[in-house]
Amino acid sequence: MNRSEIALNDDYEHPDSLEYVLESVLMPSDDSLDFERLADEYNSVLLNQCQCNGACEKSEICPHGGQYEYPKDGIELVLKKFSNPVIECNDLCKCSRNSCSNRLVQYGPRKNLEIFDSPVYGSKGLRTTINIPEGGYICEYAGELLTASEAKRRLKINEELGLMNYVLVLNEYTSETKQQVTIVDPSRRGNIGRYLNHSCQPNCHIAAVRIDCPIPKIGIFAARDILAQEEMCFHYGGEGQYKTLAYGKTCLCAAPNCTGFMPNTAIE
């Protein structure tokens, strides 16, 4: 890859037997044109670097800034809006890494996360051992980046064999127009994000976050203040600009507004 080298700190590991990856990686090549297009995007570099000398806090000054902020009495950067895509500054930007307030996801998942046996879902889950403020960054949902045809193939195999499905499809929209589709599968290679379960009343949201590549990272952020020892979940169906996919199965979230089934959206 030709992108800039950004320090990503991730000390977590899997309790399951699969490869732990720090960020999303390409699926193995299947020699298709779709894979070639995906690989070209994966190896491309975003060239709209900022020329800032300051902290990149305001969008009218920095072409990237304005999505993160330090709340009153807050000690960590948080995401202000979930409806807008995020572009972080990177090593090609002129701003200082030490003072820039537009660098968050690129540093890796937050500390004090814990994989545990969830009594609600009867499977592994992810919780925090400390309080997390609304808008706080949790982690990336990382795995193998798939073409649509490969995703359909894996979903069919999962259904036939009765396997757990982890494929997530992120559809980015501007109004009603689809702009980009990102498909991630952490079932074979993934990070700690694969352990977040679905909830019809989630305490986390997802957001598309770009750093130095046209393909976004699927960032997971706190949708509200989250208390220590609370399990973290997001809605696999997505909301608004970001729409995701999960293969239809019975929902176990037990939320008051639970629909009884997990979202099921076809891959176009």
- pLDDT for residue 85: 78
- pLDDT for residue 2: 44
- pLDDT for residue 96: 87
- pLDDT for residue 268: 67
Answer yes or no: is 251 within a domain.
Answer: no
- pLDDT for residue 263: 73
Answer yes or no: is 268 within a domain.
Answer: no
Answer yes or no: is 235 within a domain.
Answer: yes
First and final C-alpha spacing in the chain: 29
Tokens 């990503």 map to which residue?
8
Total tally of structural domains belonging to the chain = 1
Answer yes or no: is 61 within a domain.
Answer: yes
Given a cut of 50, the residues of the chain with pLDDT beneath it are 1-2, 240-242
Answer yes or no: is 217 within a domain.
Answer: yes
Answer yes or no: is 260 within a domain.
Answer: no
Note the Cα 167 to chain centre separation in Å.
Answer: 12
Per the structure, the complete domain to which residue 146 belongs is given by 19-243
Q: Which residue from 40, 249, 237, 232 is spatially nearest to 145, judged by alpha carbons?
A: 40
Rounded CA gap, 105 and 169, in Å?
19
- pLDDT for residue 73: 78
Q: Which residue from 43, 41, 91, 85 is spatially nearest to 64, judged by alpha carbons?
A: 85
Answer yes or no: is 266 within a domain.
Answer: no
- pLDDT for residue 145: 98
Rounded CA gap, 242 and 256, in Å?
23
CATH number at residue 26: 2.170.270.10
Answer yes or no: is 54 within a domain.
Answer: yes
Global pTM value: 0.91
Beta strands in the chain (DSSP E): 19-20, 25-26, 68-69, 78-79, 86-87, 113-118, 123-128, 137-140, 144-145, 168-174, 177-185, 189-190, 197-198, 204-210, 217-222, 233-234, 238-239, 242-243
- Alpha-carbon distances, residue 129 vs 66, 115, 126, 202, 223 (angstroms): 29, 10, 10, 18, 17
- pLDDT for residue 29: 96
Contact 133, 78 (CB under 8 A): yes
What is the identity of the amino acid at 105? V
